[in-house]
C-alpha cells in the first residue's frame, strides 16, 4: 500500500513571504514517482513537477523549489516571495512501480494556501 | 488539441437514478483514470485503464462501472446514484502506459445526488 500525507490543511501568508508545503509519503517499492499539482480557485488541476525515486536532486523553477529527501520520505515544496496568484490548493501525489499499487496514483489531502495582499 | 474533455460540467440526480459521465482525450494516451474529489480527502482513484479493453479498480470503485472500448473514450457509469456519490469527478490521461508521467486532467464534473 502507498500513502501520502500533507499535514498542513491550511496555510495563510502575506504576499512576499516564503512558504513551504510539506509532503510525506509511504511506499514499499524502490521505484516510484512523486508529483505536485496545483488547483487554483477555478478548479482545474495543473501539473507542477514530477520526480522519480532515483533522482534526489533538488529542483528550482522560478519562485518554486522542491526538496526531495528519501531518508525522511519527504518531498517538500517551497514558494519564495509568494504572490496572491499562488493562492490555491496544492496536492502531492505518489505512484509506485510495482506491487498492488501498480498504475494507481495516490494523492495527499491537499494544502489550502491563501496569500493575502 | 482539445486535451481531456468531460461532459456534463454539472449534473443533479435523484437517489437511484443512473447516469454516465463522459470522458474523451485526443492525445492518443494509453492510460486513463477517474478520480473523485471530496473536501479534505484529496483526489481518490475510482477506476483506471492502461489501454483499450483493459480496466482495473482503484481505491473507491464501489457503485461505479467503467469500460474502455476505444483509446479515446473512458466513460464512468453510476449504476444507482446515492447521496454519498455527491462529489467532483475528474478524468485524466497520461502518455505512458501506467501513469508514471504527468497526468492531464479534464475540467471536472460536479455531481449532486439528492
Beta strands, E only, B18-114: 19-25, 31-37, 43-51, 54-57, 64-66, 76-78, 87-94, 104-105, 109-113
| Contacts of residue A115, Cβ cutoff 8 Å, sequence gap at least 6 | A13, A14, A15, A17, A19, A82, A83, A84, A85, A86, A87
Nearest residue, CB atoms, A103 vs list B99, B104, B105:
B99
Taking the Cβ of residue B42 and every Cβ of chain A, the question of whether any pair is shorter than 8 Å is answered with yes
Model pLDDT, residue B113: 97
pLDDT along chain B (114 residues), means of 10: 94 97 96 94 93 93 97 97 97 85 94 97
How far is A40 from A110, CA to CA, in rounded Å? 12
Render pLDDT for A38-62 as a digit per residue (tens, 0 to 9): 999 999 999 999 999 998 888 889 9
CB pairs under 8 A between A and B: 57
pLDDT number for residue B62: 96
Which residues partner with B97 through β-bridges? Answer: none
Question: What is the reported pLDDT for A59?
Answer: 87
pLDDT in tens, B22-46: 999 999 999 999 999 998 889 999 9
- Nearest CB partner across the interface for A105, out of B40, B45, B50: B45
pLDDT digits (tens, 9 = 90+) for A98-111: 777 777 899 999 99
For residue A99 the three cell numbers come to 506491487
**Residue B83, SS3 per DSSP:** helix
Q: How far is CA A32 from CA A67, A88, A104, B55, B58, in A?
A: 16, 26, 11, 21, 17
Instruction: Determine the distance in angstroms separating the CA of A109 from the nearest CA of chain B, rounded to an integer.
Output: 4
Amino acid at each position: 500500500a502507498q500513502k501520502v500525507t500533507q499535514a498542513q490543511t491550511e496555510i495563510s501568508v502575506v504576499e512576499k513571504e516564503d512558504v513551504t508545503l510539506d509532503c510525506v509519503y509511504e511506499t514499499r517499492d524502490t521505484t516510484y514517482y512523486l508529483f505536485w499539482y496545483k488547483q487554483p480557485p477555478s478548479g482545474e488541476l495543473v501539473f507542477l513537477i514530477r520526480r522519480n525515486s532515483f533522482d534526489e536532486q533538488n529542483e528550482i523553477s522560478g519562485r518554486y523549489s522542491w526538496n526531495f529527501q528519501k531518508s525522511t520520505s519527504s518531498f517538500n515544496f517551497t514558494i519564495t516571495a509568494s504572490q496572491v496568484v499562488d493562492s490555491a490548493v496544492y496536492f502531492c501525489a505518489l505512484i509506485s512501480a510495482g506491487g498492488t499499487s501498480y498504475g494507481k496514483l495516490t494523492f495527499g489531502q491537499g494544502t489550502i494556501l491563501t496569500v493575502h495582499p | 488539441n482539445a486535451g481531456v474533455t468531460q461532459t456534463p460540467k454539472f449534473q443533479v440526480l435523484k437517489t437511484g437514478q443512473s447516469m454516465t459521465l463522459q470522458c474523451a482525450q485526443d492525445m492518443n494516451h494509453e492510460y486513463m483514470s477517474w478520480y473523485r474529489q471530496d473536501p479534505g480527502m484529496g483526489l481518490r482513484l475510482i477506476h483506471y485503464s492502461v489501454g483499450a479493453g483493459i480496466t482495473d479498480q482503484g481505491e473507491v470503485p464501489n457503485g461505479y462501472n467503467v469500460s474502455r472500448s476505444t483509446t479515446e473514450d473512458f466513460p464512468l457509469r453510476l449504476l444507482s446514484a446515492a447521496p454519498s456519490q455527491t462529489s467532483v469527478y475528474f478524468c485524466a490521461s497520461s502518455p505512458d502506459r501506467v501513469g508514471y508521467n504527468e497526468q492531464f486532467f479534464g475540467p471536472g464534473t460536479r455531481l449532486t445526488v439528492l
